[in-house]
Amino acid sequence: MVDLAQGESHIVVRHGATEYYHPGLFHISSTFEHTVPVFISDIVHSRNLSAIYGPSVCRDIVMINNHPIKTVRVFGRVISKREIFAFDNTTKDLLFMLELDDCSGIDLKITIKVRAAGLAYPRLDYNSVDDKILEVVGTTLMYKNQHEITAQALRCLENTTKTTYLDLEITQWKERLDYRDRVLKRPWVVQPIRGTSPGLIVTRFDYRDQKRREAKENLKFNIHEVPQLARDDSLILFRTEGNLSRMSHEVHDVASDSDVEIVHVKEVPLQIVTQFQISIEFIKWIIRHDFQTFQLSHIYGDPHISNLLEILVKSYRAFADIGASDPIYTKLFHEQKEILFHRIRHGLTTAKLISITRSQRVRSKNLNALYGHLKQCCEVIKNSMLRDRETKILDVSNYLATVKSRGLVSGDIDLKYINAIVDYITTDVWHERAHWKYDLKLTQWSYSQTSVAKELVIL
């Protein structure tokens, strides 16, 4: 029986007693970030995720029971092989397609896709790989309704004078059966944090609570003493320019309109920027300078970047009483500016988008590759619509998972950076943002020949 679990935002659907959770929770599963030993039959008979999450979500994830698994480790005997060539624009890549059988089911096998360079790692000869027992680590993907594994690492299980091939297979079976009994056999359960919890409510009082209550007792107004509320835009803070008056705060009665003196007060909106917004301006600056190697001081001295940093410092100083625990609040203005600059620089370095030498030279090889590939993907999506009338999408979540697995970027980067780069390409480079649509729910970009309203993008 299928239950849509209405009112439970973390549950997508229920099948009997098994709950399938929102993909945003997969990272807290014990199986998602680890390599999981499984049988080939586990993968072949795994749940069809397109029926639960849609055809474009979780395409590189296999779900056993309700455990999301990103990286699997399988073993099996090579029963067939073939060579294919994969073309990517002007490059040609040789791939070996190996079929493995681990005897976990009748006529059950799985295809392993290995790049030609991959076989050199364990010193395997393609011509002598037949009938070998291989152990493969990789990610799964559906191709023509069949599971395939893209190998990230593989090794040949060799027999010795003390072990036979049967011993090797029994060892592999025992490991997978043990993991199945310990983890995969029982459903994964997520306990959301509730606003209230059962049991007695324990209320703690201290001296500060007592002082607050006493202060509230003094705030009792009668109907004639209720102060007039100031109504203003909650998103704009105003800074009054000028000196404070030294006059008494006593309010005098005004006899007539002639006694009223009009005083003009100039109010200037206080701009608010975030560290992430300045990070994106860093990226745009590097793109506009063609990813050339530069001194870190050059971007720090850029007038636009410098102005944004000063605005950020002013907003920090305006809210100094809120975050006083941060040591930055004890520094001088120029010191705060330098600290915030290096925090932003450190974030881009940690995300592997840039690298910095000891002489403060900045290189952006990974950012260049990421930008070029995203631009190429957008061109493919656009041309597919214009030439073939075919709608293609850029799934940001899956794209990010792919570039992370290849080591192009680190785990600290999120989809906001990808969206910001795509938004820059379509807006500032091509000047056709009106034709690009971003689906906030599915985190997907698509192209339309007709102009569409510019929607909210996660930035």
> Which pLDDT value is given to residue 29?
87
Look at residue 367 and tell me whether its pLDDT is greater than 70.
yes
> Which pLDDT value is given to residue 100?
93
Higher model confidence: residue 74 or residue 237? 74
Task: Report which of 58, 72, 51 is spatially closest to residue 23, judged by C-alpha positions.
Answer: 58
Q: Report the alpha-carbon distance of residue 41 to residue 180 in Å, rounded.
A: 12
Could you tell me the sign of the dihedral formed by the alpha carbons of 422, 424, 427, 431, in that order?
A: negative
Q: Report the alpha-carbon distance of residue 234 to residue 118 in Å, rounded.
A: 57
pTM, two decimals, is 0.44
* Helical ranges in 365-429 per DSSP H: 365-388, 396-405, 415-424
> Which pLDDT value is given to residue 240?
47
- Ordered by where they begin, the domains of the chain are 2-184 (2.40.50.1040), 275-361 (no CATH), 366-447 (no CATH)
Task: Report which of 34, 110, 112 is spatially closest to residue 69, judged by C-alpha positions.
Answer: 34
Q: What is the pLDDT of residues 158-187, one digit of tens each?
A: 776 677 888 888 999 999 999 999 999 898
> Which pLDDT value is given to residue 5?
43
Q: Report the alpha-carbon distance of residue 10 to residue 22 in Å, rounded.
A: 5
Average pLDDT over residues 106-133: 77
Look at residue 410 and tell me whether its pLDDT is greater than 80.
no
Considering the chain, what is the average pLDDT of its residues?
78
* Distance separating the N- and C-terminal Cα atoms of the chain: 39
Look at residue 36 and tell me whether its pLDDT is greater than 70.
yes
Task: Report which of 411, 416, 398 is spatially closest to residue 33, judged by C-alpha positions.
Answer: 411
With bands split at pLDDT 50, 70 and 90, how would you rate the model's confidence at 454?
low
Q: Which of 63-67, 221-225, 233-237, 386-390 has the highest mean pLDDT?
A: 63-67
Average pLDDT over residues 298-316: 89
Q: Report the alpha-carbon distance of residue 318 to residue 176 in Å, rounded.
A: 58
For 243-278, letters b (16+ CB in 10 Å) and e give eeeeeeeeeeeeeeeeeeeeeeeeeeeeeebeeebb
